[in-house]
């Protein structure tokens, strides 16, 4: 009986020491946050060779609340690429590209998935949850060890 109490006290001390020494179990967590700093438009002629629309005129329209307004105008580079920064609060754009009578347009929609603010709010509660879960695992292992020790002691007691 004294051995069971000793094992119980030892398990309790182990659990408390682990909780004080390692308050958050986040050694393996990786946090990745994405930010959209620019939007890329690529314009090229169709066909087998996909020739870029070098120096093509580009117009970018921002769509807010269903209303479309001209946001930027510019020229594509020699590879048919045009880059522009997104507006805060606008998630949909229409890009119109024109060169020597050839015209094309593309809708760019940035929506989809949780935003960064929502991901950061979800992340705040994780360390406490992980700590409690870790303590639960340790308590479970201590309980299993105590059961095994009690069975061993009972077998020894029954032999005597």
pLDDT tens digits, 115-145: 434 444 444 445 667 778 788 888 888 889 8
* pLDDT computed for residue 33 by the predictor: 73
What is the CA 86 to chain-centroid distance, rounded? 21
Distance CA 21, CA 113 (A): 37
1's tokens: 């009986």
49-102: per-residue pLDDT in tens? 778 899 999 999 999 988 999 999 999 999 999 999 998 888 899 999 999 888
Distance CA 94, CA 61 (A): 5
Does 122 reside within a domain? no
Does 74 reside within a domain? yes
pLDDT at 19 over 70: no
Number of domains making up the chain:
1
Using the structure block, give the residue that is written with the tokens 């890009």.
95
Please name which of 113, 56, 111 lies closest in space to residue 82, comparing C-alpha atoms.
56
**CATH label of the domain that carries residue 98:** 2.60.40.1120
Does 160 reside within a domain? no
34's tokens: 């994405």
pTM: 0.49
Distance CA 116, CA 5 (A): 50
Does 100 reside within a domain? yes
Does 33 reside within a domain? no
Average pLDDT over the chain reads: 79
Using the structure block, give the residue that is written with the tokens 């340790």.
138
Can you give the residue range of the structural domain that contains 71?
39-110
Does 66 reside within a domain? yes
* pLDDT computed for residue 121 by the predictor: 46
131's tokens: 């700590």
Distance CA 129, CA 123 (A): 11
Does 60 reside within a domain? yes
Does 106 reside within a domain? yes
* pLDDT computed for residue 117 by the predictor: 44
Instruction: Mark 46-65 as b/e (b = at least 16 C-beta within 10 Å).
Output: eeeeeebbeebbbebbbbee
């Amino acid at each position: 009986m004294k051995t069971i109490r000793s094992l119980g006290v030892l398990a309790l001390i182990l659990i408390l020491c682990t909780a004080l020494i390692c308050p958050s179990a986040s050694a393996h967590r990786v946090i990745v946050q994405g930010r959209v700093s620019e939007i890329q438009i690529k314009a090229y002629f169709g066909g087998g060779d996909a020739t870029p629309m070098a120096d093509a005129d580009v117009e970018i329209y921002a769509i807010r609340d269903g209303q479309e307004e001209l946001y930027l105008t510019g020229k594509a580079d020699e590879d048919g690429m045009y880059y522009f920064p997104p507006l805060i609060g606008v998630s949909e754009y229409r890009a119109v590209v024109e060169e020597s009578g050839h015209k094309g347009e593309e809708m760019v929609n940035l929506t989809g998935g949780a935003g960064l603010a929502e991901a950061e709010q979800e992340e705040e509660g994780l360390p406490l949850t992980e700590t409690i879960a870790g303590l639960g695992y340790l308590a479970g292992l201590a309980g299993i060890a105590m059961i095994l020790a009690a069975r061993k002691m009972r077998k020894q007691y029954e032999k005597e």
